[in-house]
A and B are shown apart, each in its own frame.
Chain A
Amino acid sequence: MTSSPLLTLRVARKAFGGTVVLQDIGFALHERQTVALLGPSGCGKSTLLRIAAGLDRDFDGAVERAPALAGRPGSVAIVFQEPRLMPWLTVAENVGFLDGKRADRARIARLLEEVGLADWGEALPKQLSGGMAQRVAIARGLYTRPRVLLLDEPFSAVDAFTRMKLQDLALEVSARHEIALLVVTHDIDEALYLSDRILVMGARPGRIHDTLDVAVPHPRERTDMRLAASRVDVLKTLHDVRAF
């Protein structure tokens, strides 16, 4: 973690109209690190992710990207809460969406295999289940060879079992492709299972109340008692910030 960060975020103030949604936030994302933004609905964590992605530029502060990320489209990829596939394109065309007709077919096939959808390249999005569509979205994110993958509550719309499989998939691909993950979530277990560092956020205005390092090496077991112990800390913090 001594290397210079891939992504550094400083948000002094972000407001929608008169309402301040984010205040005095700063954190960095390092290479091969997984950071979770954990907090209740309305704490501005998705807004923070959109700022990190460069989709929202209307705020006081700055997003600094490492030179390795600057300038190349897709070096920071995002997987949204919904799959957001183009319904008129096949699964394979969606994965290679950045390049359109000139997409690298071999790479698309490899990625589809990686996310467990090897036979589905010619299918249309309407033929997919929610979990499968989200896998396609992950493959699309990976297609651009990102160094940073931003995940905006990516697994909140699928059932608990699919969610666990997708979490494993996210960890797998981030390890294999050496991608740093920034995950927005309101699921404490998800944050604990995925991340090296949890930023606990409170609402109105959204700010980071606590930073918690999860010192359990990967691969982790969901039953690990160390995670259970950390869970207590997280719950205490969330209680302190009146998240519930």
Chain B
Amino acid sequence: MTSGVPGKRPGSKRPGKEGAASARPSGPAQGAATPASPAQPGRARLRARLRGLLLPAAVVATLEGVVRAGIVPSHLMPAPSELLLTFEYLAHGPLWKHIGASALRVACGFALGTLLALLVGALVGLSRRAEDFLEPTFQALRAIPSLAWVPLLLMWLGIDETSKITLIAIGAFFPVYMNLVAGIRNVDRKLVEVGDMYGFSAARRAGRILLPAARPYLFTGLRNGLSMSWLCVVAAELLAATQGIGYLLTDGREVSRPDLVLAAIITLALLGKTSDTLLKALEKRALRWRDTFAGREA
């Protein structure tokens, strides 16, 4: 019983005021490398970029060779060099008009869909009663492929911009909505309790704890919603439009110009990638605080 007498301990005098971490820098390293996101030195980053270019370069080179050798007929698959000429022609002509039209539709539809998703998502995520009322309906609506709305939208809203933007908004809505609800419901109960301790009202709890904590999910939703928006804009433009990338696609098919179709496809890839990169940069900035796995070398 007397074996655990604490008398043998090295004496520790009060008050001890050293920092908890003995090896401590002169101050917090602002924006410096953290274990989660190692800031790659320039050379390593360049190498990482080059790795990404390897596959496309190989595909382009192979295509060029295959088409030139006549293995694939060039009226079906234009050689990459030929595509370049098409791009040059388009860039001096209607390409920018098409890009502008599609981008504007995506921007409007995505903004509208996101706004509604934020409202409904926050409501359903925060209130179990709202969830009881709304969630089954929205789950059922979600099960409908967004393109199934096209005929109805055309009948109700006509073939001009309204129907297109509505379709894009529907497409953008569900990813944002789903992720926001999941994000709110995945907030650590322990953090919520901190607010309870302060006697936070429901609104304050939402604004100070739940919504900020749900942001990682929200950004995933936004990025998915944006790619859905591009999908929907093409669908809308394929059916009825006089300009836009989707129109370029139909036009290329109607005049049997695979180079036009491919140019439109490549343009879509670039637009989608660019807008996603922008959103990703925004995400990285907003979620700087996250302490998560960033992937490993090899």
Contact = CB atoms under 8 A, between A and B. Distances in A.
Task: Decide if the interface of chain A is mainly helix, strand, loop or mixed.
Answer: helix
A55 B20 contact: no
Contacts of B198: 73-74, 97-98, 144
Interface residues of A, number: 58
B289 A124 contact: yes
- Give the interface size class of chain B: 35 or more
Given A231-B6, A232-B2, A122 B16 contact: no
Contact of A189 (B6, B196, B208): B6
Contacts of A132: 19-21
A77 B1 contact: no
Contacts, number: 120
A54 B198 CA distance: 10
Contact of B12 (A77, A164, A235): A164
Interface in B82-98: none
Given A189-B6, A235-B1, A172 B208 contact: no
B43 interface: no
Contact of B28 (A74, A123, A235): A123
A234 B197 CA distance: 32
Interface of B: 1-2, 4-7, 9, 11-12, 14-21, 26-30, 34, 36, 190-191, 193-194, 196-199, 208-209, 212-213, 215, 287-291
28 contacts: A73-B199, A84-B193, A84-B194, A86-B212, A97-B194, A97-B208, A100-B208, A116-B20, A120-B28, A122-B28, A124-B28, A125-B291, A126-B289, A126-B291, A130-B20, A134-B20, A164-B12, A168-B12, A171-B14, A172-B14, A219-B14, A222-B11, A223-B6, A225-B7, A228-B5, A231-B4, A235-B4, A236-B1
